[in-house]
């Protein structure tokens, strides 16, 4: 243990922006790690990603170690023949990460890793350092909500993820929704889970243009894929435009997967063209998001499943109301704090009715948006979240000593 109770913390995360900032895991680590560093802890991030160039740099006081993944001749070819592609990715991620951790030769006081990708499965076997696993979205939930069959490959891959979680000293998740969803899948029934929301730098978003000067625009931010359900917003727009002809929808995000014989993003664009007033922008740089949120009167998160969407936090911090499906980790916070509306997943009519409340009345949208902004300041302030994670790390350390 370092002097003055300061810790040497390692975040294991293949995702870390901008090079591998592919989703919520990278956004979470990039948000919390600098805050912990600012509190005096020595914080490192180890990112092992296929074909990634080896590098070392410092990001806001955080030491970033980027590495390629291990390459075993013939291994991937064999796994493809055996139809074990998901399993092979977990095996290689875990071995690569552990080997690179050992090469750092740093006596860490705590190691935190995500469930997703199975990056941490070797640590409980070979390491004597206190371990914290942070739940993002286990594989069974991804497959369930994407309506993908749970076959042998997925079952084995899921075992690697679950092992890393079950064997950790402390397990955390960002939402009560995720905690409940895990119990319903029987994936994690006996392990205690501490709920700690993701942090959001609300100061960064607080200067966004006021809702009162916006047009009736709804914004969608997220991957264009089945899980995020962008098409439900497209169908809702058909209903909305009958009541508010000038209403617009903007879609931002990468295409992922296929539908109707097309890349998912192209398929969404095709059906959106029939509705009209829908702009499919694809991926945009993060520094453009504030400008896009400034144009929006409300933000929609119609996902079939979403752990704790950062897009919703950024919208709330910008003073925007959020309409989300009940299958999102943000839904409970929205409902309990009058910060937006929640609707059933897959229900375009319910989504449309909820959005119309805000799109037709900028003053109402502004009032609810102020509630949303106050809510993220109260629940998701980075310093508050960092203090909660410090407590978790101390507990994990004390558990190892027992």
- Looking at CATH, the fold of the domain delimited by 3-199+381-401 is given as Rossmann fold (3.40.50)
- Give the residue range(s) of CATH 3.40.50.2000 domains in the chain: 3-199+381-401, 202-379
* Cβ contact 291:258 at 8 Å: no
124-139 tens-digit pLDDT? 999 999 999 999 988 8
The pLDDT, as a whole number, for residue 144 is 83
Mean pLDDT for 47-64 is 96
372 versus 288: the higher-pLDDT residue is 372
Distance CA 266, CA 273 (A): 11
Per-residue pLDDT at 220 exceeds 90? yes
Look-up of token digits 């310093």: 383
Mean pLDDT for 360-371 is 96
* Cβ contact 362:186 at 8 Å: no
Give which of 326, 341, 334, 311 is closest to 250, Cα–Cα.
Answer: 311
* Cβ contact 337:375 at 8 Å: yes
Distance CA 227, CA 250 (A): 18
Per-residue pLDDT at 104 exceeds 70? yes
* Contacts by 120-124, CB closer than 8 A, 24 or more apart: 120/12, 120/94, 120/164, 120/168, 121/90, 121/94, 121/160, 121/161, 121/163, 121/164, 122/94, 122/95, 122/97, 122/98, 123/12, 123/98, 123/164, 124/163, 124/164, 124/167, 124/168
Give which of 257, 237, 255 is closest to 247, Cα–Cα.
Answer: 237
Question: Please, what sign has the CA dihedral across residues 73, 95, 142, 84?
Answer: positive
The pLDDT, as a whole number, for residue 2 is 47
329-354 tens-digit pLDDT? 999 999 999 999 999 999 999 999 99
157-209 tens-digit pLDDT? 999 999 999 999 999 999 999 888 887 777 887 789 999 999 999 888 888 88
CATH homologous superfamily for the domain 202-379: Glycogen Phosphorylase B; (3.40.50.2000)
Q: Is the pTM of this model over 0.75?
A: yes
The pLDDT, as a whole number, for residue 4 is 63
């Amino acid at each position: 243990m370092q002097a003055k109770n300061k810790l040497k913390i390692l975040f294991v995360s293949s995702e870390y922006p901008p090079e591998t900032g592919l989703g919520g895991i990278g956004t979470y680590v990039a948000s919390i790690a600098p805050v912990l560093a600012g509190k005096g802890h020595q914080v490192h991030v180890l990112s092992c990603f296929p074909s990634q160039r080896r590098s070392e740099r410092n990001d806001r006081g955080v030491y970033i170690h980027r590495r390629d993944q291990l390459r075993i001749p013939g291994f991937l070819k064999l796994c493809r023949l055996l139809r074990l592609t998901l399993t092979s990715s977990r095996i290689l991620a875990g071995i690569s990460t552990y080997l690179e951790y050992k090469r750092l030769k740093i006596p860490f006081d705590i190691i935190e890793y995500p469930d997703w990708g199975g990056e941490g499965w070797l640590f409980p076997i070979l390491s004597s350092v206190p371990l914290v696993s942070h739940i993002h979205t286990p594989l069974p939930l991804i497959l369930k909500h994407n309506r993908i069959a749970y076959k042998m490959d997925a079952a084995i891959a899921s075992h690697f993820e679950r092992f890393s979680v079950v064997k950790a000293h402390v397990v955390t998740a960002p939402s009560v929704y995720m905690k409940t969803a895990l119990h319903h899948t029987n994936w994690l029934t006996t392990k205690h889970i501490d709920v700690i929301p993701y942090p959001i730098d609300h100061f960064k978003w607080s200067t966004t243009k006021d809702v009162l000067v916006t047009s009736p625009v709804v914004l969608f931010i997220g991957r264009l894929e089945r899980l995020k359900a962008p098409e439900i917003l497209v169908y809702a727009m058909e209903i909305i435009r009958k009541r508010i002809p000038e209403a617009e929808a903007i879609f931002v995000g990468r295409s992922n997967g296929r539908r109707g014989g097309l890349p998912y993003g192209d398929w969404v664009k095709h059906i959106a063209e029939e509705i009209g007033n829908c702009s499919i922008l694809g991926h945009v740089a993060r520094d453009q998001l504030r400008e896009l949120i400034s144009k929006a009167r409300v933000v929609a998160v119609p996902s079939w499943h979403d752990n704790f969407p950062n897009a919703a936090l950024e919208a709330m911090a910008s003073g925007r109301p959020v309409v989300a499906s009940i299958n999102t980790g943000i839904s409970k916070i929205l409902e309990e704090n009058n910060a937006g509306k929640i609707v059933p997943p897959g229900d375009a009519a319910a989504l449309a009715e909820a959005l119309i409340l805000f799109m037709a009345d900028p003053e109402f949208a502004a009032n609810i948006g102020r509630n949303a902004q106050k809510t993220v300041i109260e629940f998701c302030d980075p310093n508050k979240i960092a203090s909660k994670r410090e407590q978790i790390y101390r507990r994990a350390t004390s558990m190892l000593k027992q």
